[in-house]
């Protein structure tokens, strides 16, 4: 039996009609046995606001009401309104309680419990929509299998435990029912709910696919696949039919917002092909991401990642010295900062960091700078964008550098990284120039 895990994102389960479209996809493909859903569109954002404890009691109630309205728009179209309503009311009551608790005792633990409510509700309702369409959909609490550590907000999954739990709890029911479960959430060893980080449902689905030895992972979203670049930047951008794991991993890391960047890790590790398509237009095809693909164009796509920070550390002591970089990285690691790009000269090193506004990930703080300054001179520059040209044999093909940079002769290129990956050439430019550069490159390289 072919075994497919299908994940439906927030817009795909935004309302009743959207859920019905997803149900139809599942009904038409008997190999889809596990369904992972996000919270209905907008719900997680509301929950984040609630979890940040910035609101008055009345504002909290208003937001809970908005969340409730999104659920009831779906419930009201179900045959079993009463039962569905009861199920959701129970979660909303729990949510209200958690939000109330937070005023006295705000912890990351409570925040995760709050954030998990969106997926808990959407998965219950989606299982009902499936059953209403005569498909045996069975609700399953993913926390029973998704074992994580206690790092609330970005919990790390214990893949061995996940595998064992899934074989025991999910394995036996795969033939008989379509399991409907949640992305994004897990449970730690203390029994507390955890979350895997914003957008983590894709990653959950990939981990589940790996745990049950699925043949295929499908990510259903609101775009017909992965595009050559952001169509809002370059009008001629188009969907890519197929792309290799290597290229897609670079794309996900460097800005294409389609997949959570960690999604491909389990897929690559376990050679599970990934399909990305639109639940609105399933017949429009999508992008297949696989270990090896037939077409290997030099230029596959261009990604733009905004809000980059460039840190240059400079130390005359580095001349002919060893161990300097190790010290720099030790400081960064102690602050859980992850470096994206790096270039070095004899006495200085330039490092880039992703620094998106409103993100929960670690950023370069004054404290980090102070610690680095104990070692060396430090310069921090913001307002930069990273342009990543993704393709094949970029290191081995002649003329790639001149082709790319001759196309944008006036660009103020602040840093270039080329040499580590055959699938990626990337460079930093001032924030305000990024879009124009991507547009020009796209329209020249993809004719
Ligand atoms: N609902 C979560 C979020 O919006 C997880 C996800 O949708 O992937 O971040
Ligand atoms: Mg998403």
Beta carbon of 206 within 6 Å of any ligand 1 atom: no
Beta carbon of 200 within 6 Å of any ligand 1 atom: yes
Q: Are residues 21 and 129 in the same domain?
A: yes
pLDDT above 70 for 358: no
The three-point CA angle 274-5-302 to 5° equals 25
Nearest to 420, CA basis, from 256, 293, 273, 254: 254
Both tokens of residue 7?
Answer: 């994940």
pLDDT above 80 for 136: yes
Q: Can you spell out the DSSP letters for 151-172?
A: -TTSPPB-HHHHHHHHHHHTGG
Ligand nearest to the CA of 37: 1
What are the pLDDT digits (tens) for 153-189?
Answer: 999 999 999 999 999 999 999 999 999 999 999 999 9
Beta carbon of 39 within 6 Å of any ligand 1 atom: yes
Query: What is the whole-number distance in angstroms between the Cα of residue 436 and the centre of ligand 1?
Result: 30
Residue 357's pLDDT band (boundaries 50, 70, 90)?
low
Q: Phi and psi at residue 258, in whole multiples of 5°?
A: -65, -50
Q: Are residues 41 and 174 in the same domain?
A: yes
Q: Are residues 172 and 52 in the same domain?
A: yes
Residue 380 has a pLDDT of 95
Beta carbon of 183 within 6 Å of any ligand 1 atom: yes
Residue 367 has a pLDDT of 94
End-to-end CA distance of the chain: 42
Both tokens of residue 55?
Answer: 């609101």
- Torsion angle defined by CA atoms of residues 390, 394, 398 and 401, in that order, rounded to the nearest 10 degrees: 60
Residues in the chain: 447
Query: What is the whole-number distance in angstroms between the Cα of residue 126 and the centre of ligand 1?
Result: 16
Residue 111 lies in a domain: yes
Buried b / exposed e along 240-262 (16+ C-beta atoms within 10 A): bebbbbbbbbbbbbbbbebbbbb
What are the pLDDT digits (tens) for 363-376?
Answer: 888 999 999 999 89
pLDDT above 60 for 360: no
Mean pLDDT of 212-231: 95
Q: Are residues 37 and 169 in the same domain?
A: yes
- Report the domain count for the chain: 2
What are the pLDDT digits (tens) for 40-98?
Answer: 999 999 999 999 877 899 999 999 999 999 999 999 999 999 999 999 999 999 999 99
What are the pLDDT digits (tens) for 374-385?
Answer: 989 999 999 999
Q: Are residues 202 and 59 in the same domain?
A: yes
Single out the residue in 206, 222, 238 at which a domain terminates: 222
Residue 272 lies in a domain: no
Single out the residue in 174, 204, 222 at which a domain terminates: 222
Residue 216 has a pLDDT of 98
Using a pLDDT cut of 90, give the percent of the chain over it: 85
Distance between CA atoms of 54 and 434, rounded to whole angstroms? 34
Distance between CA atoms of 75 and 84, rounded to whole angstroms? 6
99: domain CATH number is 3.40.1160.10
Residue recorded with tokens 């609330």: 152
Q: Are residues 139 and 35 in the same domain?
A: yes
Ligand nearest to the CA of 221: 2
Q: Are residues 52 and 198 in the same domain?
A: yes
Residue 366 lies in a domain: yes
377: domain CATH number is 3.30.2130.10
Nearest to 437, CA basis, from 409, 395, 397: 409
Ligand nearest to the CA of 117: 1
Q: Are residues 28 and 155 in the same domain?
A: yes
Q: Give the containing element (helix H, strand E) for 48.
A: helix 43-51
Q: Can you spell out the DSSP letters for 194-218?
A: EE--TTTHHHHHHHHHHHTT-SEEE
Beta carbon of 7 within 6 Å of any ligand 1 atom: no
Mean pLDDT of 18-46: 98
pLDDT above 90 for 208: yes
Supply the pTM of this predicted model. 0.89
Give start and end residues of each alpha helix (H) in 105-181. Answer: 108-115, 117-132, 159-169
- DSSP-assigned beta bridge partners for residue 148: 157
Nearest to 25, CA basis, from 8, 40, 9: 8
- Torsion angle defined by CA atoms of residues 50, 54, 58 and 59, in that order, rounded to the nearest 10 degrees: -60
Residue 262 lies in a domain: no
Residue 399 lies in a domain: yes
Single out the residue in 193, 222, 251 at which a domain terminates: 222
Residue 253 lies in a domain: no
Distance between CA atoms of 428 and 74, rounded to whole angstroms? 45
- Residue with the bigger pLDDT between 360 and 304: it is 304
Nearest to 87, CA basis, from 52, 131, 133: 131
Q: Are residues 40 and 177 in the same domain?
A: yes
- Strand 4-8 versus strand 32-37 pairing type: parallel
Do the beta carbons of residue 412 and residue 430 sit within 8 Å? yes
pLDDT above 60 for 315: yes
Q: Are residues 175 and 322 in the same domain?
A: no
Both tokens of residue 39?
Answer: 């919270």
Binding-site sequence positions for substrate = 44, 119
Distance between CA atoms of 95 and 114, rounded to whole angstroms? 6
Q: Are residues 306 and 167 in the same domain?
A: no
Give start and end residues of each alpha helix (H) in 170-263. Answer: 201-211, 245-253
Residue 394 has a pLDDT of 95
The closest-lying atom of ligand 1 relative to the alpha carbon of residue 199 is 8
Give start and end residues of each alpha helix (H) in 188-321. Answer: 201-211, 245-253, 264-269
- Residue with the bigger pLDDT between 76 and 362: it is 76
Do the beta carbons of residue 343 and residue 417 sit within 8 Å? yes
Q: Which domain holds residue 90?
A: 4-222
Distance between CA atoms of 167 and 208, rounded to whole angstroms? 10
Residue 367 lies in a domain: yes
What are the pLDDT digits (tens) for 408-440?
Answer: 999 999 999 998 889 999 999 999 999 999 999
Residue 55 lies in a domain: yes
Query: What is the whole-number distance in angstroms between the Cα of residue 438 and the centre of ligand 1?
Result: 28
What are the pLDDT digits (tens) for 249-268?
Answer: 888 777 667 788 899 999 99
Residue 338's pLDDT band (boundaries 50, 70, 90)?
confident
Residue 103's pLDDT band (boundaries 50, 70, 90)?
low
Q: Phi and psi at residue 297, in whole multiples of 5°?
A: -65, 150
Distance between CA atoms of 379 and 310, rounded to whole angstroms? 8
């Amino acid at each position: 039996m072919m075994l497919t895990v299908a994940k439906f994102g927030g817009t795909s389960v935004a309302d009743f009609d959207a859920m019905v479209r997803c149900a139809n996809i599942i009904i038409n493909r008997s190999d889809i046995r596990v369904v992972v859903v996000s919270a209905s569109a907008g719900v997680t954002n509301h929950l984040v606001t609630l979890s940040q404890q910035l609101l008055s009691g009345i504002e909290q109630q208003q937001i809970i009401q908005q969340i409730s309205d999104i659920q009831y728009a779906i419930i009201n179209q179900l045959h079993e309104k009463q039962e569905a309503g009861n199920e959701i009311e129970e979660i909303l009551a729990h949510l209200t309680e958690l939000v109330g608790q937070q005023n006295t005792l705000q912890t990351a633990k409570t925040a995760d419990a709050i954030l998990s409510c969106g997926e808990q509700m959407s998965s219950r309702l989606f299982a009902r929509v499936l059953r209403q369409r005569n498909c045996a959909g069975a609700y399953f609490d993913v926390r029973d299998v998704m074992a994580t550590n206690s790092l609330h907000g970005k919990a790390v999954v214990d893949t061995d435990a996940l595998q064992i739990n899934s074989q025991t709890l999910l394995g036996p029911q795969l033939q008989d029912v379509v399991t409907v479960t949640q992305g994004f959430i897990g449970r730690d060893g203390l029994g507390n709910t955890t979350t895997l980080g914003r957008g983590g449902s894709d990653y959950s689905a990939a981990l589940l696919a790996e745990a049950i030895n699925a043949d295929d992972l499908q990510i259903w979203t609101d775009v017909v696949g992965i595009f050559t670049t952001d169509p809002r930047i370059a009008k001629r951008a188009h969907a890519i039919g197929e792309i290799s794991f290597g290229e897609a991993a670079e794309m996900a890391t460097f800005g294409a917002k389609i997949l959570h960047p960690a999604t491909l890790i389990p897929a690559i590790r376990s050679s599970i092909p990934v399909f990305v398509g639109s639940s609105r237009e399933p017949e429009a095809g999508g992008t297949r991401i696989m270990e090896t693909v037939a077409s290997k164009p030099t230029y596959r796509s261009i990604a733009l990642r905004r809000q980059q920070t460039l840190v240059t550390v400079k130390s005359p002591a580095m001349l002919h010295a060893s161990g300097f970089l190790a010290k720099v990285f030790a400081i960064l690691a102690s602050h859980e900062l992850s470096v994206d790009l790096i270039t070095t000269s004899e006495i200085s090193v330039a490092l880039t960091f992703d620094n998106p506004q409103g993100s929960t990930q670690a950023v370069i703080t004054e404290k980090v700078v102070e610690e680095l300054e104990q070692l060396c001179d430090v310069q921090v520059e913001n307002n930069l964008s990273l342009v990543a040209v993704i393709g094949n044999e970029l290191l081995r093909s002649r003329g790639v550098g001149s082709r790319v940079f001759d196309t944008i002769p006036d660009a103020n290129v602040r840093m270039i990284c080329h040499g580590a990956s055959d699938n990626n050439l990337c460079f930093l430019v001032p924030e305000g120039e990024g879009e124009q550069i991507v547009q020009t490159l796209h329209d020249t390289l993809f004719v």
